[in-house]
A and B are shown apart, each in its own frame.
Chain A
């Protein structure tokens, strides 16, 4: 009974977390740039009960020893980077990526004291994060009076040199397929501002989700094992579309099927737990 209860308890915990992941996916059905998460199960380590050599009788198929399993747990969680559908918004700073790439943003590093960390020259330290959410805007910076390309919360978008992108006063800004930004002045002149930094995803399993549809690399993961910076002009299969936003890639049908699966497994596991409880009750009532 105790063995069954331990098995049931640990498996229920794993199933609960799977339900949480599915709920998270469904909640983000309409979030721009959201990538669905998935998880897989594995069986927990098996113990072996020793058996006497006299148990080795003719007709026995397996080697000596009684193996006992202890349930299942979640082994891995990952984000699924398949393409979401592109929706036209017509806004000049709404960008969507078609293909296997990410935008790069610079997030200021906040120290333990809650203040922005500064390096030895007194300049703020930035961490690199990547995202598919291309809903950008122009934000004026009070410190130097320039206007930068940022995400909706003010996080700077990074160009191919790793610098913030300053947009000069202009009547129109064009961003082409390779991410090159061209600003048109009122006089009709074209000024090339720079190129967005795009990285190709080499191994999506190494990216860690850090919230707000952004992804970072853990400290021990080398950059080139997960991402490859894209240089120069148009790369085959990857394009930046101006005026479009990428919808979440959550497929409601699949999520509902997974939800039903997980719920029924949870139900069966609870059934096994209450059955184990009944057995324990019977043992307790053996006398008195």
Chain B
């Protein structure tokens, strides 16, 4: 029919998806360790437009291209560090991830500069992303997951868990059994758990994910790494710092989110108007053309 009507409908759906995304960001304003999400929009593939019946001796010819809509292609988490809030609660262990990547150029280490979104370009000209450090946890089924939730508790069996209920793993890959609350445990910046006498009770396993965009968000604060297991390795203590008594807040910017919400709503409205105008045009074609 009129191509534009489907384009406008696709626009409405795309902006509605963006609205849903932003609403979820705002809902998680106070979730510790939450990373805000951004929707990437892409146009539908272009169509060729042909001109037909121009004249008796001229065949149809291509006169140009037309996009027939837009969609949300993928959802990207923003990996910037959330701000740290001091709670003085010994069970809050904020993980500060600031991993720097160096390359050898003629024997001299050169640092790859990452921009605010964590993207950088290496010497070979390829796009690389800044690695991120995570706590390693087991979910109920015993599968490995990654999280930035900085609030911990010790359960009735003495196991260390995040407040989402996942068991936190130690350097040996097994859940850490503390047997006491974290109030009497001191956690060093490298993630070693010491009791009051300085005896080592365990050590937190911090995983370094080379490409954080390969992670799939599962909700309840955890991420899953699919396929490429080699991309996850234990992080070097220089790459991260654990601060006891601090919580990493969500990195959602409320002002930006509310503005984006308004933009999504008005774009939805604009597309809705276009659909209405096409409707009026069709109404004319159906009802008024050829009326006697």
Closest chain A CB from B262 CB (angstroms): 7
> Number of contacting residues on A, CB 8 A?
62
A134 interfacial by beta-carbon distance below 8 Å: no
Most buried by A among B21, B89, B257, B279: B21
Query: B261 touching A271 by the CB < 8 A rule?
Result: yes
Chain A 274-288, CB-CB to B under 8 Å as 1, else 0, gives 011011001101110
How far is B217's CA from A45's CA once the two chains are assembled, in angstroms?
A: 9
B163 interfacial by beta-carbon distance below 8 Å: yes
Query: A287 touching B20 by the CB < 8 A rule?
Result: no
Query: A275 touching B29 by the CB < 8 A rule?
Result: no
Query: B76 touching A61 by the CB < 8 A rule?
Result: yes
Cβ contacts under 8 Å, A285 to chain B: 272
Query: B26 touching A269 by the CB < 8 A rule?
Result: yes
Closest chain B CB from A66 CB (angstroms): 6
How far is B23's CA from A100's CA once the two chains are assembled, in angstroms?
A: 43
How far is B226's CA from A201's CA once the two chains are assembled, in angstroms?
A: 41
How far is B280's CA from A7's CA once the two chains are assembled, in angstroms?
A: 35
Cβ contacts under 8 Å, A100 to chain B: 183
Most buried by A among B154, B165, B221: B154
B122 interfacial by beta-carbon distance below 8 Å: no
Chain A 252-288, CB-CB to B under 8 Å as 1, else 0, gives 0000000001101100110110011011001101110
A206 interfacial by beta-carbon distance below 8 Å: yes
Given contact pairs A60-B73, A205-B153, A72 touches B181 in the complex (Cβ within 8 A): no
A221 interfacial by beta-carbon distance below 8 Å: yes
Cβ contacts under 8 Å, A283 to chain B: 12, 272
B269 interfacial by beta-carbon distance below 8 Å: yes
B30 interfacial by beta-carbon distance below 8 Å: yes
Closest chain B CB from A257 CB (angstroms): 10
A209 interfacial by beta-carbon distance below 8 Å: no
Chain B 160-198, CB-CB to A under 8 Å as 1, else 0, gives 000111000000000000011101000000000000000
How far is B219's CA from A68's CA once the two chains are assembled, in angstroms?
A: 9
B265 interfacial by beta-carbon distance below 8 Å: yes
Within residues 55 to 100 of chain A, which ones have a CB less than 8 A from any CB in chain B? 55, 60-63, 65-72, 75-76, 78, 80, 100
A220 interfacial by beta-carbon distance below 8 Å: yes
Given contact pairs A42-B220, A69-B37, A286-B276, A272 touches B261 in the complex (Cβ within 8 A): yes
How far is B154's CA from A41's CA once the two chains are assembled, in angstroms?
A: 17
Query: A69 touching B213 by the CB < 8 A rule?
Result: no
Residue of A nearest to B156 (CB): A221
Query: B19 touching A279 by the CB < 8 A rule?
Result: yes
Chain B 57-96, CB-CB to A under 8 Å as 1, else 0, gives 0000000000000001111100000000000010100000
Closest chain B CB from A163 CB (angstroms): 28
Closest chain A CB from B228 CB (angstroms): 10
Residue of B nearest to A64 (CB): B74
Partner of A71, one of B19, B28, B72: B28
Closest chain A CB from B175 CB (angstroms): 15
A/B interface sample: 6 pairs, CB < 8 A: A65-B216, A66-B75, A69-B24, A80-B89, A222-B156, A265-B29
Q: B interface vs A, CB < 8 Å?
A: 12, 16-17, 19-24, 26-32, 34, 37, 72-76, 89, 91, 129, 149, 151, 153-158, 163-165, 179-181, 183, 213-214, 216-221, 226, 254, 257-258, 261-262, 265, 268-269, 272, 275-276, 279
Q: Which 10 A-B pairs have the closest CB atoms?
A: A46-B219, A11-B27, A69-B24, A45-B219, A71-B27, A61-B213, A3-B20, A203-B181, A4-B23, A41-B31
Given contacts A69-B37, A70-B24, A286-B272, 13 further A-B contacts (CB under 8 A): A3-B20, A7-B24, A43-B31, A62-B75, A66-B17, A67-B75, A69-B24, A69-B27, A203-B156, A225-B158, A265-B30, A278-B265, A282-B272
